[in-house]
Amino acid sequence: MLKFKTDGWSGAISEDFTFENVRKIAQMLAIYIISEKPDSKPILIGHDSRFLADQFATAVTQVMESSGIPCFIAERDLPVPVAAWAATGRDTSGTILITGGNYPAYYCGLRIFPAKKVAPEMVARKVDTYFILEHSTFQGDSPSPELLSYQSARTLIERSTKKGKLEHVDPRDRYLKYAAALVDRGAIKKAALKIVVDPFYGSGRGYLDRLLQQLGCRVEAIRDYRDVLFGGLVPEPVENNLAELKNQVAESKADLGIALSGGAGRFAVIDREGNYHSGEALLGLLKKKKKQVIEGDGILGGLQIVELIAKEGLRVLSEL
121-137 pLDDT, tens digit each? 788 888 878 777 776 65
Average pLDDT over residues 169-189: 95
pLDDT of residue 45: 95
Which residues, 6 or more positions from 263, have their beta carbon under 8 angstroms from its beta carbon? 48, 79, 80, 99, 100, 101, 102, 202, 203, 204, 235
pLDDT of residue 76: 94
- Strands (DSSP E) contained in the chain are 9-12, 43-47, 71-74, 94-98, 107-114, 166-169, 194-198, 218-221, 256-260, 267-271, 276-278
CB 257 within 8 A of CB 198: yes
Q: What is the share, in percent, of the chain residues with pLDDT greater than 90?
A: 64
CB 165 within 8 A of CB 71: yes
3-state secondary structure of 155: helix
CB 210 within 8 A of CB 272: no
Angle at the Cα of 191 from the Cα atoms of 195 and 246, rounded to 5 degrees: 20
Alpha carbon 269 to its chain's center = 20
User: Higher confidence at residue 130 or residue 179?
Assistant: 179
CB 244 within 8 A of CB 237: no
Average pLDDT over residues 192-197: 98
pLDDT of residue 239: 97
CA distance 93 to 142: 32
For CA atoms 240, 242, 243, 249, the dihedral sign is negative
Q: What are phi and psi of 296, to 5 degrees?
A: 80, 15
Between 80-87 and 172-180, two packed helices, what is the crossing angle to 10 degrees?
Answer: 90
DSSP 26-78: HHHHHHHHHHT---SPPEEEEE-SSTTHHHHHHHHHHHHHHTT--EEEESS--
Longest Cα–Cα distance of the chain, Å, equals 73
Integer-rounded Cα Rg, in Å, for the chain is: 21
Average pLDDT over residues 247-264: 97
CA distance 105 to 128: 26
pLDDT of residue 162: 57
Residue 149 pLDDT more than 80? no
Residue 140 pLDDT more than 60? no
CA distance 212 to 16: 39
pLDDT of residue 41: 83
pLDDT of residue 114: 86
Question: What's the start-to-end Cα distance of the chain, in Å?
Answer: 45
Give 10-31 pLDDT, tens digit per residue. Answer: 999 999 999 999 999 999 888 8
pLDDT of residue 125: 83
Task: Name 98's bridge partners.
Answer: 47, 110
pLDDT category, 268, cuts 50, 70, 90? very high
Write down all domains in the chain, each with its CATH number in brackets: 9-169 (3.40.120.10), 172-319 (3.40.120.10)
Between 19-35 and 145-159, two packed helices, what is the crossing angle to 10 degrees?
Answer: 110
Q: What is the share, in percent, of the chain residues with pLDDT greater than 70?
A: 89
CA distance 71 to 85: 17
pLDDT of residue 3: 80
CB 223 within 8 A of CB 244: yes
